[in-house]
Structure 1
Amino acid sequence: MMLTAGQLQAFRSQGLLLLNEMVAVSDTEAVLSAIAKVDLGGDAVSFEADEHTPRALHGVEGRASLFDQLSRLRAFVEPARQILEGDVYIYQFKINMKCAFNGDVWPWHQDFSFWHKEDGMPTPSAITIALFLDDVSEFNGPMYFIPGSHLSGCYDQSEDAQGSDWTNNVSASLNYQTDPDNIKLLVQRTGAEGPGCRVGDPQAVPAARWNGPSKALVSPSHRRHVARSPDRPLMPGATNYEERVVFDIPIADSEPEEYDEESLLGAFLRSSQEPLDRGDETFLKPFRMLLQSNQSPNRRGRQTFHNCSVRLLTNRLRIQSALKAHPQILETPITSPIFITGLARSGATLLHNLLALDPRSRTLRLWEVWWPCPILDRDGQDIRLAQSETLWGRQNRNLRAIHSFDPSDPEECRWLLEHEFAAWSFNLSTHRPEYLKWYVAANLEHQYRFHKRVVQVIKHGSGDTTDNLTDRIVFKAPSHLGYLDSILAVYPDARFILVHRNPVEAFASSCSQVSHLRQILSKYVSPSEVYSDVGSRVFTSLERMFKTRKTVNEKRFLDLRYTELISNPIDTVYKIYEWLEVSFPEQMTRAIEAYLLMRPKENMEPTTTLLKILVVTLQAWPKNSHSISIRSIFL
């Protein structure tokens, strides 16, 4: 169904759109039948004060095919696309029950207040489209609203002291409530309405509109409805924001959720407006291996991988479109790039940040590597930075202590390789032995060619299409260590800074980091698997690094010690400038001192237990021609 200009104008001015008889009564009966199968003992069911009358069901769209089909119904999708002026994703899917006799009140509220404060939604762009499963009249508590109230902005709302339980956000006494005088003032201006509607009628409302139904506690009639809240894809591919509760509602006779190629890649390709270029399918081999091993993560880990995959596929489409529209992007020069690498947890992040203090150095920022192509709002403003601040601002505290993410800081370019599904980071969440075996032995020349194209797209999007704005571009990622040959095939004039730390300390610190991540995202954590996975990467990377260095002029490499970087960071950076044969700016010393004073302190040290276990690393060191070289650098 296509909305008329009059309907769109009415929605934007009044904050309400009624679509009569869009869904057949027989279909709503099928929905009610599916609701009856929901196990009310599930963890996403909230109850009324009597503790047995269901009040709301959340997250059911992923647990029954009928609910999933309903969430994708054209009667919902097409109006949402027109209102939001583009593609949409499902931010929230819920079923409000408002049961007969015992259904309690929903106080006056703005949905956006909860979505912003609880989930970090940056702007009230989302809408809600409700499908009523019962006739609605003045006798069963219709949803009242204040016409045009969404245009009045978002009122500051106090937080009721009810704790952090998510059910407090859907209870009869909501967490976020405003001063009643604000409601009185709005009602005095434009009045309040409680439109009735019939079964099968969808109703669309904006997130910032003020809603408040009558109580109607003793009504003999239900007032049930399905609420689907689409939003523009500010965070492409996400089904929710980072901290939203992941629900698992058991439904009778439903199949367990799976992430296979058809359900993920196939569904994505069918829903995208532009077909993904299938001429280059190199990414499919590692992608399929990741899917085959995706039962090891827990539910949160699987959902994280799902969201990540859709984001990466979405970015591939955007990159493809950018190159198609502007083929001159591929002519953007990348001259003598610098690659900082070394074993993980060896101080490369610190060095990368110090070099980025020089305005003559171009580094990639987190918001650029996560979304390489600009994402514009209705006013033509790029919202990638704001969206990154929302996402990473809710970073797990324990993870922040190990490695802090700031959207404006220089970031690893290994995120670009994730778009080819060829990255060590996919092993952080869980044990994937077949994928790891492929990854450590792979030639990634093709993937680094994609890496270069994405960097050219990023530079083009930022207006940096020449080498005149900066003297050099500085990349950084520990994963580069094992693929110097692939890098040189794509960037033949590349130079490398290798930061070296005692391998036992670096190895133990890496194992500690991986263990922490797997505790969050995996069903279980096996110390032996962590040891094996990290060890496989470490040994193979070092072997491949030395093999490549034998064939390349040593002047292309600068070896730095972690201990020297930590104890004398200014002298270390000065040494790099001498190696590059460029002047050391006078202001760099003050900039470095200021940065070191303000920078977040990261926990680079492994636990004592891990150190004791991993001392055996040296005993397991490969006995071959490279062993002496390896020991001479690290020990």
Structure 2
Amino acid sequence: MTTAPERTADLYPTRGTTEVITPRKDPVVWSQPGAEGPFSASDLGDFERDGFFAIPELLTAEEVAVYRAELDRLVHDPDTRADPRSIIEPRSRSVRSVFEIHRISELFAQLVADPRVVGRARQILGSDVYVHQSRINVKPGFGASGFYWHSDFETWHAEDGLPAMRTVSVSIALTENHDTNGGLMIMPGSHRHFVGCAGATPKDNYKKSLQMQDAGTPSDQALTTMADRHGIRLFTGRAGSATWFDCNAMHGSGDNITPYPRSNVFIVFNSMENTAVEPFAAPVRRPEYIGARAPFVPVR
């Protein structure tokens, strides 16, 4: 007699009839004190407290020039534009994002495996890691749209099936981040509570959400309470700077109506001990280029 496989416990319910706020049940920093890596113990303490850590210069100016040229090459390549991994800006019809960039570009694959990058992911997550998602983001001037407030983990849990908060992202700037060109905003400390959002997940929700976030966004009341409690931090910095942030940090960005573009590389590392199962609150899985599936290959 065979039995159905055991369902992974859902520690963070979301996409139900009402909004539910759940205290975080997982560590923020998973490694043991004194774990070797690019972060100092003080850096990790700041990350654990705030849910993010900014590095003024992760890449040199020479490295930025190389990666920026590769980004420009890809977004102007007709084959890339026609690839389903490319997301098109609704208004300008220009390329907004290109997913699975570590598989499309050898240069970006090298960046993912750079010890300055993957070493920090291993330190935070306390294990070997794989790439759950990677992409380049292009936010051109004069009207590129932003993303509404959200927790990435809410989406990755609901639609990709990541069981626990053992995932970390890094955004590496390839252009200067001004305080006016639609930069990243995070609520410090917001990673300590999970906002389970109200409303069911539409089928193929990713086709809309990658252009404009809708399902999986908190209520105005919840956002106001969190902003009053935690405040909002806007990230600026030169090209080559990087921001590491916890998967459950509440964040968003505004439209870019300035002449100055904002482009970055975005890499999501997940623990090899937290691999994706079936979605917790969606009818179907998202495509593998958005949320990686087996075989899960650790970054070496």
Do both share a fold (TM > 0.5)? yes
Q: 1:235 to 1:196 in 2, by over 3 A?
A: closer
1:233 match: 272
* C-alpha contact (below 8 Å) 1:159/1:177 kept by paired residues: no
1:179 aligns with 2:219: yes
In the alignment, which of 1, 5, 9 is matched to residue 45 of structure 2?
9
2:204 aligned with 1:168: no
The change in CA–CA distance for 1:127 and 1:77 in structure 2 (over 3 A counts) is: same
Deviation of 1:94 after TM superposition, in Å, equals 1.2
Query: Secondary structure of 2:268's match?
Result: strand
Q: 1:125 offset after TM fit, Å?
A: 1.4
Q: Which has the higher helix share?
A: 1
What is aligned with 1:136?
177
After TM superposition, the structure 1 = structure 2 runs for residues 53-452 of structure 1, keeping only pairs within 5 Å, are 53-152=94-193, 154-159=194-199, 163-215=203-255, 217-234=256-273, 243-247=285-289, 307=295
Contact 1:48 1:171 in 2 (8 A): yes
- Cα distance change, pair 52–81 in 1 and its aligned pair in 2 (3 A): same
In the TM superposition, residue 53 of structure 1 has moved relative to its aligned partner by 1.9
- Give 3-state SS (helix, strand or coil) of 1:104's partner: coil
- List runs of 5+ in structure 2 lacking aligned partners: 1-36, 75-79
CA contact (8 A) 2:38 2:116 kept: no
Cα deviation, residue 172, structure 1: 2.2
Give the paired residue count. 251
The offset of 1:165, in angstroms, is 4.6
Q: Measure the CA separation in 2 of the matches of 1:174 and 1:73.
A: 34
Letter paired with 1:18: A
Bigger strand share:
2
Deviation at 1:15, TM superposition (A): 1.0
| TM-score relative to the length of structure 2 | 0.77
> Residue type matched to 1:246 in 2?
E
Residues 226/41 of structure 1: CA separation in 2 closer, same or farther (3 Å cut):
same
Partner of 1:32: 68
1:12 and 1:175 mapped to 2: Cα distance? 28
Which residue of the partner structure matches residue 582 of structure 1? none
* Code of the aligned partner of 1:243: R
SS at match of 1:121: coil
| Counterparts of 1:247 and 1:92, CA distance in 2 | 7
Residue 145 of structure 1 and its aligned partner are, at CA, apart by 0.9
Structure 1 residue 144 displacement after superposition = 0.9
- Mapped to 2, the partners of 1:163 and 1:175 lie a distance apart of 11
Give SS of 1:107's match: strand
Q: CA deviation at 1:199?
A: 0.8
Flag structure 1 segments of 5+ consecutive residues without an equivalent. Answer: 249-299, 312-635
Query: What is the alpha-carbon distance in structure 1 between the residues aligned to residue 269 and residue 203 of structure 2?
Result: 28
Q: Equivalent residues in 2 for 1:450-599 (5 A)?
A: none
Alpha-carbon shift at residue 146 of structure 1 (Å): 0.6
Change (3 A) 1:62 1:114: same
Identity of aligned residues (%): 21
One-letter amino acid matched to 1:29: A
Q: Which structure is higher in RCO with an 8 Å CA cutoff and minimum separation 6? A: 2
Check whether the contact 1:134–1:198 (CA below 8 A) recurs between aligned residues: yes
> TM-score, with normalisation over the residues of structure 1?
0.37
Equivalent in the alignment of 1:392: none
Deviations 1:8-65 (A, max 9, x none): 1110011110112121122222222222332211111112222612221111211221
Letter aligned with residue 245 of structure 1: P
Which residue does the alignment assign to 1:295?
Answer: none
Structure 2 Cα separation of the partners of residues 231 and 247 of structure 1: 15
Give the CA deviation at 1:226.
0.6
**1:543 matched to which residue of 2?**
none
Q: Deviations over 1:389-441 (max 9, x none)?
A: xxxxxxxxxxxxxxxxxxxxxxxxxxxxxxxxxxxxxxxxxxxxxxxxxxxxx
Query: For the residues of structure 2 that align with 1:133 and 1:109, how far apart are their CA atoms?
Result: 23
The change in CA–CA distance for 1:88 and 1:161 in structure 2 (over 3 A counts) is closer
Deviations 1:345-372 (A, max 9, x none): xxxxxxxxxxxxxxxxxxxxxxxxxxxx
CA offsets per residue over residues 103-153 of structure 1, 9 Å max, x none? 10210010011101111110121010111111112111111111100012x
Residues in 2 aligned to 1:26 and 1:167: alpha-carbon distance in whole angstroms:
36
